[in-house]
């Protein structure tokens, strides 16, 4: 079984990260996507986790389908939507094989791109191109090599687990390992791409890189997260992808 089929469930069981309420970051991101599109529309979110962005997007007027692999995440998303007086269509499925319907004006994938090898990323991007309506846009968070190479070695220790970041320089992948006390450690490994690398990945997928939106960076020494930093310093950027 691929590591991604167990990592996020184990991470959630350990730190309950996908059951959080909607954060202002989700609302701001939904507003940014809406602003970029000009108006709300049909929106597919891949790897939607606990649905916090999906619900924020529904509240911004989008007709949202949230696709997520984790058992129970769809139920949590629908409950969160109901708490906020809105609805989100949920689909518990694998984005490599699922048929989410569509076409969609926007496809979003936040914090997760790069779980596979390059061919798998290409396959997923081809599927995204096929889900987009004419004039549609995909918004994909992409991890940068520079931040994660620099961040390797950073360790967070709590009473229940130790979390350590690493970097596979040959494969250009960030490594994020949780070691719960008394249990086997488990790791996520995400392929990192600069915009130049991503442009090399895109030919044949039906998508091209239209814009790059730099994201934020966590400063482990100060223990502070800076939400907007230059591209050369950020943890990830949003790749704005349009039909080629």
Nearby residues of 3 by Cβ (< 8 Å), 6 or more positions away: 186, 187, 188, 189
Residues 6-45 that bind ligand SAM (CB under 6 A): 8
Pairing of strands 173-180, 186-191: antiparallel
Minimum CB–partner distance for residue 22 and ligand SAM (Å): 11
Q: Tokens 């450690």 identify what position?
A: 185
If DSSP codes are grouped into helix, strand and coil, which group holds residue 8? helix
**In the set 69, 81, 132, 172, which binds ligand SAM (CB under 6 A)?**
69
Contact 161, 184 (CB under 8 A): no
**In the set 4, 27, 126, 194, which binds ligand SAM (CB under 6 A)?**
4
- Comparing CB distances to ligand SAM, the nearer of 112 and 166 is 112
Q: Tokens 């250009």 identify what position?
A: 172
> In this chain, which stretch among 47-55, 163-171, 177-185, 229-237 interacts with ligand SAM, using CB under 6 A?
47-55
Minimum CB–partner distance for residue 112 and ligand SAM (Å): 3
| Cβ atoms within 10 Å of 209's Cβ, excluding its own | 18
Residues 90-149 that bind ligand SAM (CB under 6 A): 94-96, 110-112, 115
Residues that bind ligand SAM (CB under 6 A): 4, 8, 47-49, 67-70, 94-96, 110-112, 115
């Amino acid at each position: 079984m691929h590591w991604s089929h167990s990592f996020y469930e184990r991470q959630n069981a350990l730190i309950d990260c996908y059951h959080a309420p909607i954060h202002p970051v989700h609302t701001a991101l939904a507003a940014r996507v809406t602003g970029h599109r000009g108006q709300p529309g049909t929106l597919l979110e891949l790897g939607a986790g606990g649905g916090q962005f999906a619900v924020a997007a529904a509240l911004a007027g989008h007709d949202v389908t949230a696709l997520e692999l984790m058992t129970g995440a769809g139920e949590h998303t629908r409950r969160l939507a109901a708490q906020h007086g809105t609805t989100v269509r949920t689909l518990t499925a694998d984005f490599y094989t699922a048929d989410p319907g569509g076409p969609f004006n926007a496809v979003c994938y936040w914090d997760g791109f790069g779980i596979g090898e390059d061919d798998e990323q290409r396959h997923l991007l081809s599927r995204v191109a096929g889900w987009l309506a004419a004039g549609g846009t995909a918004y994909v968070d992409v991890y940068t090599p520079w931040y994660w190479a620099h961040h390797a070695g950073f360790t967070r220790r709590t009473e229940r687990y130790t979390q350590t970041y690493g970097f596979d320089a040959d494969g250009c992948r960030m490594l994020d390992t949780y070691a719960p006390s008394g249990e086997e450690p488990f790791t996520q490994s995400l392929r990192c791409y600069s915009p130049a690398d991503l442009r090399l990945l895109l030919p044949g997928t039906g998508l091209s890189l239209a814009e790059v939106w730099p994201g934020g960076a966590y400063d482990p020494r100060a223990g502070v997260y800076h939400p907007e930093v230059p591209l050369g310093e950020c943890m990830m950027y949003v790749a704005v992808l349009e039909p080629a």
